[in-house]
Structure 1
């Protein structure tokens, strides 16, 4: 239909067949009554964050809509929201409302279907669903454009908004008439795709029907099914598989000195699972090391692992101390099924040789020799009271230059110093060992049945559900923060 503005003579047209009472001239922004083709008043053009134009088409949920009018409403001095009047191909009305980047798609409903329950102004019911009143807002029309079936009311209109989750009931009262609308949140990306818009207003705050980021009921159902499936899989694993010891042997350090021990072959069946190795040795103020090579006999691939076993203790500043352990564990993670054998190597801290403490005094009294438990020999010139320490008797014999060396030669000649000292040692030479650990025990266990992954997955599921639950509560509290009828209390 075509309408010529009586003021600027510009033609205003739209493609739909419904009759209108008013339109806003696209050129001069005069509100024209079609009954007598006269000007009612001049209105502002809607420009604040307006992203749709009259005549623009879009498809939402399979229904094609045409934008026939745009109204910007104003609350207070600086709060605005936009309403886009839509018509589908059957002539049915719909409305897109946008405020702070949050979109709601609304449809007209019969006011008789909305039950506000006399005496109770907090709730409203529609199709057996209860909605809580969010706010009562008085507003006016700030700007308008397009074609309208009813006259625009530029007086004060009162909106009562009732909310339940992502749905709402809006009750509009103006000039004694009441209209009711049912609305649902619609994603801005859905609006963008529907009308092929390049830019949309950014989100600000939380919309009054904005849903939580996760559908809690669906997430709870999905997590419950996932937990059930995990439990069933774990039950199958427990029933069909067993943990078993695949290698257990005590290995003497002497048997693997400068070589490796090749174990018997063993078969691992089922899925990939950890292989736990426990090693122990009777270390005492000493250390030992075990090296294991896990050989896949089909691929000849070797996985190496090494572990130190060390244990030390002592007494210092009036307190005893200890560190380390005689037992250690390590894992080969994710070992695939197949046939394997071990390459075993091991070494230890070598034992220390000790000597019996002894001493020797030359017949003329000029020379004294003493040996401590570690084999160090102290040579003393009794004439000068000077002492020199030697690591062994051979070093003493080699000293023929110093005054002390000449004195030793003159006094002892070619006598065997070790024999002289041993003759005066009541215990003689002792090959005692500080730590007599002669072997290491190795035990390898195959663990196809493990409750670690099962437990971790269940814990993560519970944590996710808990985070969603408390996150949704905080989200709802924030959503209702600006409402005068919030079900929450705020400190």
Structure 2
């Protein structure tokens, strides 16, 4: 490089070259020395061309003066490369209101890079030399880094304010820009009648930028979704779908394993006769047998209660008490059936069923005395009151309802995340004229 010798790889000399603004005589500092093509005064906003015999005054770019969040001269390490901030520009998209800020970064070995901020979203850009599509300006998608980059924006920029030094003449630049996105990356093609270049941008979190350049001021608030802001690095839709699929397979294997260990042991399968108390219309309690309930593979067991009764246009129910003869603890459940049938408008209809079942969970092993308290509807027209009922008790049956609930919850996570991903991407493309989503 001209003008200085590198004393340490990757670092600029500590003292910059001092020059004076030809307009207001304000001292200016040049960190890039002979690399600079133009320099903007931070006092009068005059942009001067850097020539061998000094600075030649040019246009002013002070219509929207802003203080850079990252001061000129700040240093920060990005991708293991130490950069110095040497320039700051406020851009406006021609014919539109969109504005963004761009910091020019310089390293004497690796050259120039750029850090852009738009609506609180930060993107780090570097020139790339291993990709070129020539002057193809109407391409809707590109492939680079094994990714598909989709056309996002086309525009020309207008400088609203600048300070610091630049490797190009910023007031004379009439380049057109075309942006392609594949979050968290962006390919930017800039071209004019005499020159073209490609840059690769990568999303940076505001916290990372703040830490990199030791920024003490509040960071700009993020608005909407950035052009290359990733949906989620740690909880992406693809990751959740993959984990959900693995979890569903494991859940099924566990269910099959538990199914093979279930006993399905019938403890009771008996038909009981009901007796009505004289003059009261209620049914007499029925003493049941004594049962020995064992343990399951997981310890406490479940108990399936199956009830059937010959009901027609009526109902029948019975309370079932299981009394542990050793501990005195009682487990109670009431099950009932109802069945109705008839004709209406020439068609037969039915409602209910003469059979039902219910599950009692977490029954400890032990000896249990069974007590039954049946009940039925009083006599009504067109009914046949049941005189008997069948009760079946089965120990340690497989319960598929828990499996289906767990599977539903596992499946709901990718569905919810998929919807969030869809709305996130749709919001990203709201600022693009090339959105793949239908606009309302």
TM-score, L = length of structure 1: 0.65
What's the counterpart of residue 307 of structure 1? 335
Q: C-alpha separation between the residues in 2 aligned to 1:103 and 1:51?
A: 12
Q: Which moved more, 1:218-227 or 1:19-28?
A: 19-28
Deviation (angstroms), 1:282:
3.9
Classify 1:48/1:294 alpha carbon distance in 2 versus 1 (closer, same or farther; 3 Å). Answer: farther
Classify 1:199/1:337 alpha carbon distance in 2 versus 1 (closer, same or farther; 3 Å). Answer: farther
Q: C-alpha separation between the residues in 2 aligned to 1:149 and 1:174?
A: 16
Classify 1:287/1:233 alpha carbon distance in 2 versus 1 (closer, same or farther; 3 Å). Answer: closer
Q: C-alpha separation between the residues in 1 aligned to 2:236 and 2:100?
A: 27
Q: C-alpha separation between the residues in 2 aligned to 1:82 and 1:39?
A: 24
Given that residues 22 and 147 in structure 1 are in contact (C-alpha distance below 8 angstroms), is that contact kept between their aligned partners in structure 2?
Answer: yes
Q: C-alpha separation between the residues in 1 aligned to 2:274 and 2:305?
A: 18
**1:270-318 deviation per Cα after TM superposition (whole angstroms, max 9, x unaligned):** 2377533122334566654422345578876544322344557789999
Q: Highest CA radius of gyration, 1 or 2?
A: 1
Q: How many residues align?
A: 407
What's the counterpart of residue 100 of structure 2? 81
* Structure 1 gap ranges (5+): 353-433
What's the counterpart of residue 269 of structure 1? 296
Q: C-alpha separation between the residues in 1 aligned to 2:390 and 2:259?
A: 29
What's the counterpart of residue 114 of structure 1? 132
What's the counterpart of residue 431 of structure 1? none
Which of residues 42, 48, 61 is equivalent to 1:43?
61
Given that residues 279 and 327 in structure 1 are in contact (C-alpha distance below 8 angstroms), is that contact kept between their aligned partners in structure 2?
Answer: yes
Which of residues 181, 187, 190 is equivalent to 1:172?
190
Alignment of 1:438-457 (within 5 A): 438-457=387-406
Given that residues 377 and 385 in structure 2 are in contact (C-alpha distance below 8 angstroms), is that contact kept between their aligned partners in structure 1?
Answer: no
Q: C-alpha separation between the residues in 2 aligned to 1:67 and 1:338?
A: 75
* DSSP-derived class of the 1:264 partner: strand
Q: C-alpha separation between the residues in 1 aligned to 2:306 and 2:24?
A: 95
Classify 1:175/1:268 alpha carbon distance in 2 versus 1 (closer, same or farther; 3 Å). Answer: same
Classify 1:121/1:49 alpha carbon distance in 2 versus 1 (closer, same or farther; 3 Å). Answer: farther
Which of residues 40, 56, 70 is equivalent to 1:24?
40
* Structure 2 gap ranges (5+): 1-14, 277-282
What's the counterpart of residue 208 of structure 1? 227
Classify 1:237/1:61 alpha carbon distance in 2 versus 1 (closer, same or farther; 3 Å). Answer: farther
Given that residues 171 and 181 in structure 1 are in contact (C-alpha distance below 8 angstroms), is that contact kept between their aligned partners in structure 2?
Answer: yes
Deviation (angstroms), 1:452:
3.5
Given that residues 253 and 346 in structure 1 are in contact (C-alpha distance below 8 angstroms), is that contact kept between their aligned partners in structure 2?
Answer: no
Given that residues 262 and 343 in structure 1 are in contact (C-alpha distance below 8 angstroms), is that contact kept between their aligned partners in structure 2?
Answer: yes
What's the counterpart of residue 347 of structure 1? 374
Given that residues 143 and 149 in structure 2 are in contact (C-alpha distance below 8 angstroms), is that contact kept between their aligned partners in structure 1?
Answer: yes
Given that residues 304 and 359 in structure 2 are in contact (C-alpha distance below 8 angstroms), is that contact kept between their aligned partners in structure 1?
Answer: yes
Please tell me whether residue 157 in structure 1 is matched to residue 175 in structure 2. Answer: yes
What's the counterpart of residue 3 of structure 2? none
RMSD (Å), alpha carbons? 4.6
TM-score, L = length of structure 2: 0.71
Deviation (angstroms), 1:59:
5.6
Classify 1:346/1:161 alpha carbon distance in 2 versus 1 (closer, same or farther; 3 Å). Answer: same
